[in-house]
Amino acid sequence: MTEIREGMNVLSADGERLGRIIRIEGDSLLIEKGFFFHKDYACSVNNVREVRGDEVILSLSKIQLETAIGGATEQATDETRPSTGVRQDVR
């Protein structure tokens, strides 16, 4: 199998673009999607079906990945982060 590395784009088995690999730890891949509203996916390299150029194609659909244990995790939004007591206005 071609080497999997950080920065590669990841597609689900059904062709959905999931994001890019931001971390590889052992046999686990952390995939990040989104610029402002992050959604991270974690999966095993055992779920890689194919590597084509700079793309990794998984053997799981997006729905299978999201429902798998340790699948999708939403990043905390400003509303759910603990308050620091300091108001920050964004305009």
Q: What tens digit of pLDDT does each residue of 56-70 get?
A: 999 999 888 888 755
Q: Which of 13, 44, 17, 16 has the alpha carbon at shortest distance from 30?
A: 44
- The pTM of the whole model exceeds 0.75: no
Check: CB of residue 35 under 8 Å from CB of residue 82. Answer: no
**What is the structure's pLDDT at 78?**
40
Higher-confidence position of 34 and 62: 62
Measure the CA–CA gap between 8 and 61, rounded to whole angstroms. 18
The mean pLDDT of the chain is 77
Mean pLDDT of 65-79: 55
Whether residue 85 is predicted with pLDDT greater than 50 in this model: the reply is: no
